[in-house]
Copies of this chain bind each other. A is one copy, B any other.
Amino acid sequence: MDELNAYFLKNLPLIEADLQLFLEKKIPNPYNELRGMMRYHMGWEGAGSGKEAQGKRLRPILALLAGENCGIPTEDMFPFSSAIELLHNFSLIHDDIEDHDERRRGRETVWKLWGIPQAINTGDLMFSLATQSMLRANGSVSETHLLAAVQAFHETCRKLTIGQYLDMKFEGMSSVSTQEYIEMITGKTATLLGFCFAIAPIAAGKSVEKIDLSRKFGETVGLAFQIQDDYLGIWGDIKVTGKASRSDLISRKKSLPILQGVENHRQFYKIWVENDMVSPELAEELAVLLEEEGVRNFVGAEVERYTEAAMQLLPQVFESGNNNAVVVKQIILQLMNRDH
């Protein structure tokens, strides 16, 4: 994973610097408290700031890789990579309110510290600045392609909010089909990863086929990742994932294994619908039932299927042998092998 580490080491400081300078410029000094809420959320200041609080910055890294692959110099990709990271973080600020999450990346959330009203508004501003970040590419990218990029960006936003709408709606529903679930995670997780790979060929004016293939590749990686996350929420090892095993059973999260178990209508289903509360002991029993009823195998196979599909697409998006192809492949492997 040397290429991967080298790529992150080289580019992460540049990504952070671009984001910091852009926010500094757009929210000048009399409004330092407002900028401070963003800087806190981005992990740059306040209690617990630092690498851990900043998150992986995976999305802008992927956008830079895709940019180089399309012949766009790194510095010309920053308007887009920062836009993606701002979009992602705006959605996290609002999601934390919507899900009533008090902690993120080991720290208190923005709404918990500054209240819901300021947190909503700070998210709105960050969302607006994401579009402004892209517009900085005016000049280095042709007007035609920049307008296409803005359009694709807001189509991504539209799908993201539809995914979030479905997620919240599902919480109040007694049954959700696995098909509905895949639609929801496609919107919530896969669409933005698709955009990370689509934005470079859009900005470079590549063919529609190339753009669609790149988007499809990113979406497939996103689905593989999300379904593995669901798998680990029941069968993961807390020492590796940081996620307690069986945790999704205890929190009654509508994840893929659980929805599949319900759809199977066997012993798991009977116990599941009879118990509104799931104790750690019951969760053990349910996990065993899911495994006996073939759900663990099914979900594991789905992870494999999407990962394999992504790997098949990879050489069609990135020229094989190319260093970027190596780094992207290493990122996927790291994403998909967190449990060993």
Contact = CB atoms under 8 A, between A and B. Distances in A.
A158 B128 contact: yes
5 contacts: A33-B169, A94-B124, A97-B117, A122-B161, A124-B157
A259 B158 CA distance: 42
B151 A132 contact: yes
A131 interface: yes
Interface string A140-162: 00011011001100110110011
B120 A97 contact: yes
A116 B118 contact: no
Nearest to A26: B158
Given A138-B147, A147-B143, A158 B125 contact: yes
Nearest to A158: B128
A161 B125 contact: yes
Contacts of A94: 120-121, 124
Given A147-B135, A150-B150, A129 B158 contact: yes
Interface in A8-61: 26-27, 31, 33-34
A98 B111 CA distance: 12
A164 interface: yes
Nearest to A98: B117
A154 B116 CA distance: 23
A99 interface: yes
